[in-house]
A = this chain, B = another copy of it.
Amino acid sequence: MAADTSGLEISARDLRLEQAFYGTIIHSVSPKEVQILEKGLLLIGPDGKISLFREHVEKSQVAGLLAHYSSGAGSLRVRYLERGQFLIPGFVDTHNHAPQWTQRGTGRGKLLLDWLNEITFPHEAKFADASYARKTYSSCVDGFLKQGITTASYYGSLHGEATKILAELCLEKGQRALVGKCNMNQNSPEYCSDSSAADSLAATEDFIAHVRRLDPEAKTVTPILTPRFAISCDRELLSGLGKIAQANPDLPIQTHFNEAEDEIALTKTLYHEFSNEADLYAHYNLLTSRTILAHCIYLEEYELDQIQQRGCGVAHCPISNTTIGGFMAAPIREYLRRGLNVGLGTDSGGGFSSSILDAMRQAFIVSKAREVATEGADEALSLNETFYLATLGGAKVCGLSDKVGNFAEGKEFDALEVHTMGADAGVIAPVEEEDGLDVILEKFLMTGDDRNIQKVYVRGRSVKV
């Protein structure tokens, strides 16, 4: 933690404070450790960064401290959190198909490749229409922000223009996002395919340039290379994407990796020169420390070593992994044991839910299944661990943990103000008089929903519609 807790007598800094929060502040400091600070104080500068974080401040000291650190220009808004209210870091959704926002929940139980062909491709084809894209993506970004997803790593459709609209909407509505034009020039119907590798690459370069003009310093929106998966891309396309990746060392990459048995079998048939997916993506320079690998269910030991050595991130999507195709429990305990970066993905719409809270619950359930299957060798995830995956773990996967994921001083203020009590508390388990802060947090994480997320902040700006 960067917060100074040595005492209150530290010298004044030249801070022009804009917002302050006093009360219960909760965040992860490691995979296993969640700090629950009853008397925390956070100060947020006009740049949206956390300028001061104190772990323990008596209420009587707050006004004095703020007078000391604020510019005194009267622009300071102070929020005193009451019982049942607390701040947590915003949720990070490491794997999300924006075009599938409206198809969530349909086609459950189908095998992955059937689901793509029967449900998904016909739906994604609609994003050739820019006005449809604007309407749908607007609803999508609002819908995820409302649920506390302050950072999303989005797959767009194959359409460059529609995906530009998605990036513009993220910027306008204030959602931190990695946005990718989806590359797919084979094995999907012609109406839902890039017309050639060259066209797909050109649209990608055009998209990247567009997003960089929109947000030159990538303060909010970052382009991300998005080969759907090897099945969807021919060798020329993968090769071209690898070259873009090499030429742009700041550019993140995302793809699906060892997701389903039918997918793995077809990949091996199409790319017979590789004996596994790790070698395939590595060959095309797409398996890097900037790569987000969605799913990672069936990894050979060799592949596990490869993604560990290369520092790839894992987007764990427990809801889609148990509703599309079979019931698949990714070996998350092993990934954490090896120190890999792991986060959660809603995988909306393969995942029916658009809530990271649901993803956290399902991650626990899936890890229970794995605990039973391994006779206890892979212990189930703790509440602290699933909270970590949803916040700091996800930020690491997205390469953004220097900016977000918890409330360390100097990070940007991406946060949720949670209210667990009151008339509009939804269906959360009622908080009782004797409940400690740990129990209140547990009740929110296990029984709360977006109605308990009263405010959503990205870079210090309130963004919940």
Known: A109-B380, A429-B349. A368 touches B446 (CB 8 A): no
Known: A352-B361, A361-B352. A322 touches B369 (CB 8 A): yes
Q: Flag the segment in A33-41, A96-104, A230-238, A289-297 that touches B.
A: A96-104
- Binary contact track A350-384/B, C-beta < 8 Å → 1, others 0: 00111100000110110011011000000010110
Known: A352-B361, A380-B109. A429 touches B104 (CB 8 A): yes
**A383 close to B352 (CB less than 8 A):** no
A139 to B355 CA separation, bound complex (whole angstroms) = 25
Among B105, B109, B371, B383, the residue within 8 A (CB) of A429 is B105
List residues of A (423-465) whose CB comes within 8 Å of B's CBs. Answer: 426-427, 429-430, 432, 439, 442-443, 445-447, 449-450
**A427 close to B146 (CB less than 8 A):** yes
Task: Enumerate chain B residues within 8 angstroms of A353, measured Cβ to Cβ.
Answer: 447
CB distance from A436 to the nearest CB of B (A): 11
User: Does A108 lie at the interface of the complex (its beta carbon under 8 Å from any beta carbon of B)?
Assistant: yes
Task: Enumerate chain B residues within 8 angstroms of A31, measured Cβ to Cβ.
Answer: none
A441 to B229 CA separation, bound complex (whole angstroms) = 31
From A355, A365, A372, A382, residue with most partner B Cβ within 10 Å: A365
User: Does A106 lie at the interface of the complex (its beta carbon under 8 Å from any beta carbon of B)?
Assistant: yes
User: Does A216 lie at the interface of the complex (its beta carbon under 8 Å from any beta carbon of B)?
Assistant: no
CB distance from A14 to the nearest CB of B (A): 43
A322 to B318 CA separation, bound complex (whole angstroms) = 14
User: Does A326 lie at the interface of the complex (its beta carbon under 8 Å from any beta carbon of B)?
Assistant: yes
User: Does A311 lie at the interface of the complex (its beta carbon under 8 Å from any beta carbon of B)?
Assistant: no
List residues of A (90-129) whose CB comes within 8 Å of B's CBs. Answer: 101-106, 108-109
From A106, A147, A327, A445, residue with most partner B Cβ within 10 Å: A327
**B429 close to A365 (CB less than 8 A):** no
A176 to B1 CA separation, bound complex (whole angstroms) = 53
User: Does A323 lie at the interface of the complex (its beta carbon under 8 Å from any beta carbon of B)?
Assistant: yes
**B446 close to A104 (CB less than 8 A):** yes
Known: A327-B372, A368-B323. A447 touches B147 (CB 8 A): no
Interface residues on A, range: 35 or more
Task: Enumerate chain B residues within 8 angstroms of A372, measured Cβ to Cβ.
Answer: 326-327
- Binary contact track A331-360/B, C-beta < 8 Å → 1, others 0: 000000000000000000100111100000
**A427 close to B354 (CB less than 8 A):** yes
A364 to B371 CA separation, bound complex (whole angstroms) = 20
CB distance from A84 to the nearest CB of B (A): 13
**A327 close to B104 (CB less than 8 A):** no
Known: A106-B439, A371-B327, A429-B349. A322 touches B446 (CB 8 A): no
Closest to A445 in B: B105
**B327 close to A365 (CB less than 8 A):** yes
CB distance from A297 to the nearest CB of B (A): 12
Known: A368-B109, A442-B106. A429 touches B101 (CB 8 A): yes
Closest to A352 in B: B446
Task: Enumerate chain B residues within 8 angstroms of A410, measured Cβ to Cβ.
Answer: none
**A102 close to B368 (CB less than 8 A):** no
**A143 close to B427 (CB less than 8 A):** yes
Task: Enumerate chain B residues within 8 angstroms of A371, measured Cβ to Cβ.
Answer: 326-327
Task: Enumerate chain B residues within 8 angstroms of A432, measured Cβ to Cβ.
Answer: 102
Task: Enumerate chain B residues within 8 angstroms of A108, measured Cβ to Cβ.
Answer: 364, 383, 442, 446
Closest to A370 in B: B327
A to B CB contacts below 8 Å, 17 in the list? A104-B443, A105-B443, A106-B429, A106-B442, A108-B364, A108-B442, A109-B382, A146-B427, A322-B365, A322-B369, A323-B368, A326-B368, A327-B372, A352-B447, A365-B365, A427-B449, A449-B449
| New A-B contacts (6) at CB < 8 Å, excluding given A147-B427, A323-B365, A327-B368 | A101-B430, A105-B442, A106-B442, A108-B442, A354-B427, A365-B365
Which residues of A are at the interface with B, using a C-beta cutoff of 8 A?
101-106, 108-109, 136, 139, 143, 146-147, 322-323, 326-327, 349, 352-355, 361-362, 364-365, 368-369, 371-372, 380, 382-383, 426-427, 429-430, 432, 439, 442-443, 445-447, 449-450
